[in-house]
Amino acid sequence: MSYYKIENLEQYFKHYNKSVREPRKFWSKIASENFTWYQESEKIVEFDMAEAKIKWFVDAKVNIVKNCLDRHLSKRGEKTAIIFEPNNPNDAAEHISYNDLYVRVAKMANVLREQGIQKGDRVCIYLPMIPEIAVSVLACARIGAIHSVVFAGFSASAVAARINDSECKMVITSDGGFRGEKTIDLKGIIDDALTNCKSVETVLVVKRTNTSVSMKPGRDQWLQPLLDTASDNNVAEIMDAEDPLFILYTSGSTGKPKGMVHTTAGYMVYTAYSFKNVFNYEENDVFWCTADIGWITGHSYILYGPLLNGATTVMFEGIPTYPDYSRFWEIIEKHKVTQFYTAPTAIRSLAKENLEYVQKYPLKSLKVIGSVGEPINEEAWHWYNDHVGGKRCPLVDTWWQTETGGILISALAFITPTKPTYASLPLPGIQVVLMDEKRNEIEDNQVAGSLCIKFPWPGIARTIWGDHHRYKETYFSAFPGKYFTGDGALRDEVGYYRITGRVDDIIIVSGHNLGTAPIEDAINEHPAVAESAVVGFPHDVKGNALYGYVILKESGEYRDRTNLTKEINQHISDHIGPIAKLDKIQFVSGLPKTRSGKIMRRILRKIAEGDFSNFGDTTTLLNPEIVDEIKEGKL
Ligand code: 6R9
């Protein structure tokens, strides 16, 4: 019996039980039967949860790109691997076959090697959603260089912090990027970033917008001429199962972003397996995930998961609202998309508009629709299900994280019955537990608890780049022996999980993870600001929006608060990026603090939500009187 594809609900339970009872046998069979290895693993998994040390497919040798491309060429060489849909709907879409993609990746891999990049070197990729981002990622993986894709909406200082943290030797960027009607000056941002990055020796520049850029001699080179003369004969690097494949930064509850490290074999097996089963992928399907490759969703379900399965994956350069609100639906129709995977925030923003935008398109090609990034509220769930899925496509609400590598809790399309707002059941291999405040496992249903996983799965991130201690502290110390997700969840009578949201200082805004600490750091850098606290409050489209409480310094120089609000948001844009701007700012004279000096965010959250009832226990506050003042200021 093969474990790679689950055929029905009964089989799901069988596989699930097998994966718990005999995880080694379960994953060993999947790995051995569905991938090409230079050498297979015998031990399969070794771990020590107390030390946060996890290894999968121990001693195996493999190259993930050989599994994404080379092995498909004999059967699927002419098949489309990537459909590139450009920002401007009047420009032709590009269909890149497996053969073409293989050649482009091989040439790029040779360019990287010629530029001195070797196995283990870090390469920062700061590109828009154009084919070159896929080619660059795969070329790095082919030669064993560790890619660190930084979302091309991050500011110069945010990029610089990420480049410095992992000491990238090279940056791959473009002259600019198109986003709706705007053109973004990516090379300019990189130039600013690199004034503070000593490790970068080379910058390769893709021409996309034809905007004029400055090229620093000895450092910057146009990519195309290098590709034109590169050979397409490239020998892939033989990688150890646990060699790092990539670093991807995610927000933490302290200032510094966390460079999550994913390694080769486990990530490969888990993304391929989860893609196949959650989306019920079949040969000839056309899969479209609307995320950016700058996020984990793009890594796992635009690139690796689909390509490992020999699928056709759509890559979209633009935004859902350009040239109008029907762009998503038009693309589904045009490319006969069968699986569509997007975020609740996109659904909510499109659901606000006239129904005609979606009703114009029959969307008959769709078989499965998916959601990711934040809880999908009931209203958005029904709109998506009714108007996009036509009430006939299963809606898979997929819960997972940058740290988890792939989807952990989700319905499997056509197998698991769905229930609005419930992510439903864990995938095989995922041993979910809910923990109470006393660190005991919650056995009852309908009780909220901290969501933990008690056994490693192949896709889990192995460490934080350069800081294993922080990895252990963040994920393995709150509930010893278990991986703590930072999310809260409930379980219903049949074992379905509903994710209730973050229980830490991370706020999900439009599906983007934002730590309060780095935003507060950015606000505090404004010369007029003494201290600040940022919390989330519910927002119709973004899910959560940001509310900042700001204490100003005594000096009277900054009386004009309209300008101050703008300046503070500009600071945030410069330090992090426009996604982290505050929707509301309230100037206050103090913040509610405990005697140990901790800001009581619970109270600030309630005030931001406009809920003035029941602040809970405020007796431990150092300054209880401030609560009334803040309340009144809000009114
Ligand atoms: C894949 C991704 C992770 C955080 C996660 C949780 C939230 C993601 C969700 C969801 C409810 C879902 N989240 N999917 N919450 N239901 N289906 O989004 O990774 O950017 O690291 O965010 O997003 O809070 O902990 P990442």
Let me know: does 220 contact 156? Beta carbons within 8 Å. Answer: no
Residue 400 CB–ligand 1 contact under 6 Å: yes
Rounded CA gap, 337 and 114, in Å?
A: 38
Residue 401 CB–ligand 1 contact under 6 Å: yes
Instruction: Tell me the H-state helices in 211-263.
Output: 223-228
**Is the pLDDT assigned to residue 559 strictly greater than 70?**
no
Q: What does the block give as tokens for 440?
A: 């005991």
Please indicate, yes or no, if residue 522 is contained in any of the structural domains. Answer: yes
The model's pLDDT over 175-201, given as tens digits with 9 standing for 90+, comes to: 999 999 999 999 999 999 999 899 999
**Is the pLDDT assigned to residue 620 strictly greater than 80?**
no
- Ligand 1 atom 2 nearest Cα: 401
Please indicate, yes or no, if residue 614 is contained in any of the structural domains. Answer: yes
- Ligand 1 atom 6 nearest Cα: 374
Supply the ipTM of this predicted assembly: 1.00
Let me know: does 68 contact 76? Beta carbons within 8 Å. Answer: no
**Is the pLDDT assigned to residue 460 strictly greater than 80?**
yes
**Is the pLDDT assigned to residue 521 strictly greater than 80?**
yes
Please indicate, yes or no, if residue 226 is contained in any of the structural domains. Answer: no
The model's pLDDT over 434-459, given as tens digits with 9 standing for 90+, comes to: 999 899 999 998 888 999 999 999 99
Tell me the one-letter amino acid at 450: S
The model's pLDDT over 198-222, given as tens digits with 9 standing for 90+, comes to: 999 999 999 999 999 999 999 999 9
With the most atoms of ligand 1 within 8 angstroms of its CB, the residue from 401, 475, 500, 505 to mutate is: 401
**Is the pLDDT assigned to residue 582 strictly greater than 90?**
yes
Q: What percent of the chain has pLDDT over 70?
A: 98
**Is the pLDDT assigned to residue 427 strictly greater than 80?**
yes
With the most atoms of ligand 1 within 8 angstroms of its CB, the residue from 397, 410, 499 to mutate is: 499
CATH no. for residue 624?
3.30.300.30
Return the pLDDT at 471. 98
Average confidence (pLDDT) over 523-546: 92
With the most atoms of ligand 1 within 8 angstroms of its CB, the residue from 508, 512, 544 to mutate is: 508
How remote is the CA of residue 315 from the centroid of ligand 1, in Å?
A: 21
The model's pLDDT over 214-254, given as tens digits with 9 standing for 90+, comes to: 999 999 999 999 999 999 999 999 999 999 999 999 987 66
**Is the pLDDT assigned to residue 557 strictly greater than 70?**
no
Residue 423 CB–ligand 1 contact under 6 Å: yes
Is residue 601 very low, low, confident or very high in pLDDT (cuts 50, 70, 90)? Answer: confident
Residue 508 CB–ligand 1 contact under 6 Å: yes
Please indicate, yes or no, if residue 140 is contained in any of the structural domains. Answer: no
Domain with 612, as residue range(s), is 510-633
In this structure, what are the phi and psi dihedrals at residue 191, rounded to the nearest 5 degrees?
A: -55, -45
Q: Identify which has the larger pLDDT, 254 or 120.
A: 120
Please indicate, yes or no, if residue 297 is contained in any of the structural domains. Answer: no
pLDDT, the chain, mean: 95
CA angle (42 as vertex; 39, 43 as ends), nearest 5? 130
Rounded to two decimals, the pTM is: 0.91
Q: Tokens 């109470």 correspond to what residue?
A: 436
Count up the domains in the chain and report the number. Answer: 1
Return the pLDDT at 635. 60
Return the pLDDT at 447. 84
Return the pLDDT at 140. 99
Q: Ligand 1: which atom is nearest the Cα of residue 512?
A: 20
Rounded CA gap, 594 and 323, in Å?
A: 50
Let me know: does 608 contact 535? Beta carbons within 8 Å. Answer: yes
Return the pLDDT at 558. 60
Return the pLDDT at 556. 59
Is residue 42 very low, low, confident or very high in pLDDT (cuts 50, 70, 90)? Answer: very high
The answer for residues whose C-beta is within 8 angstroms of residue 375's C-beta and 6 or more apart is 344, 421, 498, 499, 500, 501, 543
Please indicate, yes or no, if residue 539 is contained in any of the structural domains. Answer: yes
Please indicate, yes or no, if residue 102 is contained in any of the structural domains. Answer: no
> Dmax over Cα atoms in the chain, in whole Å?
75
The model's pLDDT over 323-371, given as tens digits with 9 standing for 90+, comes to: 999 999 999 999 999 999 999 989 989 998 999 999 999 999 999 999 9
Return the pLDDT at 342. 97
Let me know: does 261 contact 465? Beta carbons within 8 Å. Answer: yes
**Is the pLDDT assigned to residue 596 strictly greater than 70?**
no
- Ligand 1 atom 11 nearest Cα: 375
**Is the pLDDT assigned to residue 555 strictly greater than 70?**
no
Is residue 531 very low, low, confident or very high in pLDDT (cuts 50, 70, 90)? Answer: confident
**Is the pLDDT assigned to residue 68 strictly greater than 90?**
yes
- Nearest Cα residue to 138 out of 37, 78, 79, 64: 64
Residue 374 CB–ligand 1 contact under 6 Å: yes
Return the pLDDT at 406. 98
- What 8-state DSSP symbol labels residue 454? -
- Ligand 1 atom 18 nearest Cα: 373
- Nearest Cα residue to 347 out of 209, 71, 542, 119: 542
According to DSSP, the residues that pair with 424 across neighbouring strands are 497
Least confident of 129-133, 204-208, 595-599: 595-599
The model's pLDDT over 461-520, given as tens digits with 9 standing for 90+, comes to: 999 999 999 999 999 999 999 999 999 999 999 999 999 888 888 899 998 989 888 899
Least confident of 150-164, 274-288, 515-529: 515-529
Is residue 562 very low, low, confident or very high in pLDDT (cuts 50, 70, 90)? Answer: confident
The model's pLDDT over 268-298, given as tens digits with 9 standing for 90+, comes to: 999 999 999 999 999 999 999 999 999 999 9
